[in-house]
Structure 1
Amino acid sequence: MTQRICFQLQVKPDHIEAYTEAHAALWPDMLEALKATGWNNYSIFMRDDGLVIGYFETEDLQANLDGMAATEVNARWQAAMADHFVGIDRPADEAFNYLTEVFNLDDQLAKL
C-alpha cells in the first residue's frame, strides 16, 4: 500500500537562495538514487521565510531511508546541505519533522 509522506524542515534565512539553487540543479546521481530507492512523486515546497515542506509517496518509508543511507551520493548531499537548516545537528533526512495526514480527497471519496 502506498504511503503519503510529508515532512517539515526550516532553512536558515540567509541560506534560502543557496538551498533553492541546489535543488534547481540536483545532482543526477542523487536523482537516480532517490528514484531507485522508492521516493516517488517527490516534491519540496518552501515558504518565503524558509519553511520547507516535503512530500513523497512510498511503499516502505524505512526501506527508502535505509536505501538512501547506503548510498555514497546521499552522504555527499547531506554534507553539502548540513549547514542550511535551523536547529538540527544530524543529516536532514534523519531530522524530518513528519506531519500527520488528516485529510485526503481520494480516500474520502472511496468511502462514499
Structure 2
Amino acid sequence: MQRVCFLLKVRAEKAEEYRERHQPVWADMLAALSEAGWHNYSLFLREDGLLVGYLETPDFERARAAMEATEVNARWQKEMAHFFEELDGQAPDAAMRPLTEVFHLA
C-alpha cells in the first residue's frame, strides 16, 4: 500500500467556506473515491490556507487517473476550483504531487 501526502493552498479568505463544503462531501464523490482506490483519505487545513492531504492506495497514479475519468470528479473540481491558489509557484492541478516520506513509525 502506497502512503501519499500532498500539499495544496486554499485561499485564506475562503478557508471557512472550504471547510463547510466538506460537511458533508457528496455521497457519489465518496463512492467514486473508494472505487478508484483512495483509502484512509484525510484533509487537514491550516488557518492560513495550507492544505495537507493524506491517503493510502495501491497505486497513486492509477487512483488519480481513475478519479479524473469520473463525471462526479469533474463536477466537484469545477465547484471547488475557485478555492485554490498557487503554491510555490505551481498551479493547484500541478501542485498535487506526493511529498517524499522520510520517516514512518508503524
Listed as ranges, the gaps of 5+ residues in structure 1 are: 107-112
Measure the CA separation in 2 of the matches of 1:24 and 1:93: 23
Q: TM-score, normalised by structure 1?
A: 0.86
Q: Is the 8 A contact 1:38 1:64 kept in 2?
A: yes
3-state secondary structure, aligned to 1:24: coil
Q: Is the 8 A contact 1:37 1:68 kept in 2?
A: yes
What do residues 85-105 of structure 1 show as CA deviations (whole Å, max 9, x unaligned)? 11265xx55531421111001
Corresponding residue of 2:40: 41
Corresponding residue of 1:103: 103
**CA 5–95 in structure 1, closer or farther in 2 if over 3 Å, else same:** same
Following superposition of structure 1 onto structure 2, how do residues 27-66 of structure 1 map, counting pairs within 5 Å? 27-66=26-65
Listed as ranges, the gaps of 5+ residues in structure 2 are: none
- The two structures, once aligned, show a CA RMSD in angstroms of 1.4
3-state secondary structure, aligned to 1:44: strand
Corresponding residue of 2:11: 12
Corresponding residue of 1:109: none
Rg comparison, structure with higher value: 1
Q: Is the 8 A contact 1:9 1:97 kept in 2?
A: no
Corresponding residue of 2:77: 78
3-state secondary structure, aligned to 1:77: helix
3-state secondary structure, aligned to 1:99: coil
Instruction: Give the aligned length.
Output: 103
Q: Is the 8 A contact 1:40 1:56 kept in 2?
A: yes
Q: Is the 8 A contact 2:7 2:95 kept in 1?
A: no
